[in-house]
Amino acid sequence: MRQDLFRVAVVGCGVGRNHIAQGYRKHPEEFRVVALCDVDEARLTAVAEEFSIPRRTRSFDEVLRMDDIDIVDICTPAMLHFTQILAALSAGREVVCEKPLAGSLAEIDRVLAAEKAATCRVMPIFQYRFGNGVQKAQRIIELGIAGKPYLATVETAWKRTAKYYETPWRGRRETERGGILLMHAIHIHDLMTWLMGPAASVFACTATRVNPIEVEDCAVASLVMRSGALVSLAATLGSQREISRLRLCFEHVTLESALTPYSPGDDPWEIVPASPEAEARIAEALADYRPVPSRFEGQFGAYHAALTTGAALPVTLVDARSSLELATALYHSAATGAAVTLPIASDHPAYNNRPPSKA
Ligand SMILES: NC(=O)c1ccc[n+]([C@@H]2O[C@H](COP(=O)([O-])OP(=O)(O)OC[C@H]3O[C@@H](n4cnc5c(N)ncnc54)[C@H](O)[C@@H]3O)[C@@H](O)[C@H]2O)c1
């Protein structure tokens, strides 16, 4: 087997199936999924048959004992990620893990420490970053063309019915760890901070109004960013028409995503320059833009490049930590009814445990 062909074990056959179909299978020269793991025998067999994956197991420990696996891709329910990441790192495997990576900032700091001490790395999944609209917006901002950030509005309007919550780990604080802020809007909030920079303070309200669950399914928040820009977040799982939308107003340009709920990073984004000069600078910045594949295909392609060159991973634990820090601040604000200032240090009451949301 070639040095740059990585052998993968996927653990968890829900979104794990999408990692295979939309990610690894799009890069057959770069990745081979050789093992599949799920405690649910029927699901395991169905997905293994669909993709002709030879090795099947119901035991995560057995995956770690397979000497020829380079990458363990963790797609299990949220409450298992922390321990499975630590186990895979100490078994010397590269790790891919679905969001959310951990249940608290204390846990994710332990993962960061474990990665530092390990020979391998952890790549969190944030596949929404891989879309040509958001990538172009990011380039315009990174090159300083956008100028001063003024304000952003960020919407996650999705729909989840009782059927979604038939899966027992969903909707429960103990196992899902959080509701829409942690599990659904986390993607677009990550895009927002990727483009607008970190938040300095947040004030949030959460509510459970759509389904009879323990965690929140509606949330609003007002953020003051470290840059001074203002951001408004709105998220619900009770929207009959599903959309995601990100609208960013900068000094020299306004950037607005398409409404596609599960790939808001994709083109077309509306890019409205403030002046002919800004228009010319944007055109120049994008003249040699090379399109990226969307979502998992894009993230796994960039992952392979980072693995083979040793370059920084396309999404890092620091990114996952920032995302969890924002969610933690939002939950703490909703629970206390007060604004929360970031960063959240280890002596903050929300550092060790995610406080229950005010549902
Ligand atoms: N990035 C995204 O867009 C996206 C989309 C969906 C889900 N997710 C995340 O992926 C994770 C899984 O969500 P899902 O929707 O696929 O859930 P799911 O319940 O549909 O699938 C999880 C699978 O893991 C299996 N499993 C449970 N315990 C296991 C264990 N110990 N070892 C092996 N397999 C085990 C279950 O049997 C199940 O088949 C969650 O953290 C969720 O937030 C991310």
For ligand 1, atom 14, the nearest C-alpha belongs to 14
Identify whether the C-beta of residue 84 lies closer than 8 Å to the C-beta of residue 9. no
Q: What DSSP letter does each residue of 60-86 carry, written as one string?
A: HHHHHH-TT--EEEE-S-GGGHHHHHH
Q: How far is the CA of 13 from the centre of ligand 1 (A)?
A: 7
Ligand 1 — pocket residues by CB below 6 A? 11-15, 37-40, 43, 60, 75-78, 80, 98-99, 125, 127, 167, 183
Separation of CA 159 and ligand 1 centre (Å): 19
Distance 334 CA to ligand 1 centre (A): 27
Position in ligand 1 atom list of the atom nearest CA 14? 16
Q: Check: pTM over 0.75? Answer yes or no.
A: yes
Nearest CA to ligand 1 atom 25: 12
Closest ligand 1 atom number to CA of residue 16? 16
Distance 177 CA to ligand 1 centre (A): 13
Note whether 81 and 111 are within 8 A (CB): no
**Using CA positions, which residue lies closest to atom 16 of ligand 1?**
14
CA of 109 to the centre of ligand 1 (A): 23
Q: What is the pLDDT of residue 82?
A: 96
Ligand 1 atom nearest residue 84's Cα = 31
Q: Whose CA is nearest to atom 6 of ligand 1?
A: 15
Q: Whose CA is nearest to atom 5 of ligand 1?
A: 15
Centre of ligand 1 to C-alpha 38, Å, is 9
C-alpha–C-alpha distance, residues 59 and 36, integer Å: 10
CA distance 25 to 33: 8
Distance 79 CA to ligand 1 centre (A): 10
Distance 122 CA to ligand 1 centre (A): 17
Asked if residue 229 lies in contact with residue 95, where contact means CB atoms within 8 angstroms, the answer is no
How wide is the angle at C-alpha 246 spanned by C-alphas 245 and 252, nearest 5°? 145
Distance (Å, whole) CA 350 – CA 356: 10
In degrees and rounded to multiples of 5, residue 263 shows phi and psi of -150, 60
The pLDDT of residue 354 is 59
Q: Which of 326, 19, 290, 22 is nearest to 136 (CA)?
A: 290
pLDDT means over runs of 10, the chain (359 residues): 84 98 98 98 98 97 98 96 97 97 95 97 98 98 98 98 96 91 97 98 98 97 98 98 98 98 97 98 98 98 97 97 97 96 95 60
Which of 11, 13, 15 is the pocket-test mutation for ligand 1 (most atoms within 8 Å of CB)? 15
Query: Over the Cα atoms of the chain, what is R_g?
Result: 20
**Residue nearest atom 34 in ligand 1 by C-alpha distance:** 38
The pLDDT score that the predictor gives to residue 177 is 85
Nearest atom in ligand 1 to the alpha carbon of residue 125 is: 1
Helix (H, G, I), strand (E, B) or coil at 176: helix
Alpha-carbon distances of 291 from 30, 78, 205, 211, 280, rounded to whole Å = 19, 32, 38, 39, 20
Give residue 353's pLDDT: 72
The count of other CB atoms within 10 Å of the CB of residue 83 is 13
* Atom of ligand 1 at shortest range from CA of 38: 34
